[in-house]
Amino acid sequence: MVSKTRALDSKARNKRVIDGYKKTIEDYTNDTEKKERREHCLCKYCKYVSSKIGGASMTTKPCDCCGKKLYFESTYTDDLCIDCAKEYGHCKRCSQKMD
Ligand SMILES: [Zn+2]
Ligand SMILES: [Zn+2]
């Protein structure tokens, strides 16, 4: 016998997850925080999609471009320091071109 309560709970939870994804895709599509995103040198994917993922623990790694040591509060690290990202017009997180 399948628990009705559990089935309903799961359905509600799954819907919330899907709604969350929908919102993510909407934000991604509409670029809702474009100004802030560009100030932080993040491409649309890293700003709206991948920022939802990643565990919490201190991580350090060098900038791929100039080798400067970078510090992160999660396991999700940036490829470039903000200076290199700004100078070359690439996303600091994943290195893709900004637009
Ligand atoms: Zn750099
Ligand atoms: Zn990116």
- Ligand 2: distance of its center to the CA of 11 in Å? 33
The number of distinct structural domains making up the chain is: 1
The helix (H) or strand (E) run that includes residue 70 is: strand 69-72
pLDDT in tens, 71-99: 887 777 899 999 999 999 999 999 999 88
Among candidates 90, 1, 2, which has minimal Cα distance to 46?
Answer: 90
Give mean pLDDT, residues 24-53. 90
- Ligand 1: distance of its center to the CA of 69 in Å? 9
pTM more than 0.75: no
Ramachandran class of 41: left when φ > 0, alpha when ψ lies in -120 to 50, beta otherwise:
left
Residue 94 lies in a domain: no
- Ligand 2: distance of its center to the CA of 78 in Å? 9
Residue 98 lies in a domain: no
Residue 99 lies in a domain: no
Residue 96 lies in a domain: no
Please give the pLDDT value at position 54.
Answer: 55
- Ligand 1: distance of its center to the CA of 21 in Å? 32
Residue 95 lies in a domain: no
pLDDT in tens, 40-59: 999 999 999 886 655 566 78
What's the domain range around 19?
4-88
